[in-house]
Amino acid sequence: MNFQEGTIFAIDKPYRISSFGALAHVRYLISKKIGVKRVKIGHAGTLDPLATGVLILCTGRCTKQIEQLQAHTKEYTATLQLGATTPSFDLEHPIDQNYPTAHITKELIEEKLRCFEGDIMQVPPVFSACMVDGKRAYDMARRGDEVQLKAKPIHIDKIELTDFSPETMQMTIRVVCGKGTYIRSLARDIGEALGSGAHLTALRRTRVGDYRVEDSISYDHFREWLDSMDVKRI
């Protein structure tokens, strides 16, 4: 394996670690292993710190393929809490408003989910890396500045309900989607479609193109994986 020349592999990013933080850890271990100060490396598609799963990493000349890899179909499993919203649409921020849920049934959820399949417009979360006048939206939002983001076209191939608890008002969905889809925004929109509110409590990216989470390298055991590989040193 020649990391300096170029390789592509996927790691299983853990909870509460940013994509950049995961990349930096992997870069340090690879650089130390092959004897360079700083190996060239990038990731194909950011995962939120509170999300887990497939994070594709490219080294060397393979970093030129990042844009192509980002365009691949992605698959997620997501758990939503109905009846409450947060400013970030996930657990990064506390609940800011509660909504009625007594009218929500499994049948209503399945009916509304069908409306999200195909080509739709979606407004990204204000707590996101979207650029607004040359600034990151999340930086502006965390300062308390008003952030206005425009709806963008996205494509959702498939969305299905895999679990629903009327007692806790939690639901789990599987989503197959294209580039630029924010599952946090999808949670917000599903809540609104149900005449209530919703936010993400768990998110896992299970696939990016042909890269599946079950075949990804464990972040916590990356050093052991690296030591087991035949790696070309400088």
- List the domains of the chain with CATH numbers: 8-71+210-228 (3.30.2350.10), 74-208 (3.30.2350.10)
pLDDT at 196 (0 to 100): 98
pLDDT at position 138 over 70: no
Of 14-18, 212-216, 227-231, where does mean pLDDT reach its minimum? 227-231
Mean pLDDT to the nearest integer, 57-83: 97
Q: How confident is the model at residue 137 (pLDDT cuts 50, 70, 90)?
A: low
Give the per-residue pLDDT at 148. Answer: 76
Predicted TM-score (pTM) of this structure: 0.92
pLDDT given at position 134 = 72
Lowest mean pLDDT among 40-44, 65-69, 126-130: 126-130
* Active site residue ranges: 48
Q: How confident is the model at residue 126 (pLDDT cuts 50, 70, 90)?
A: confident
pLDDT-wise least confident of 22-31, 80-89, 140-149, 219-228? 140-149
165 DSSP β-pair partners? 170
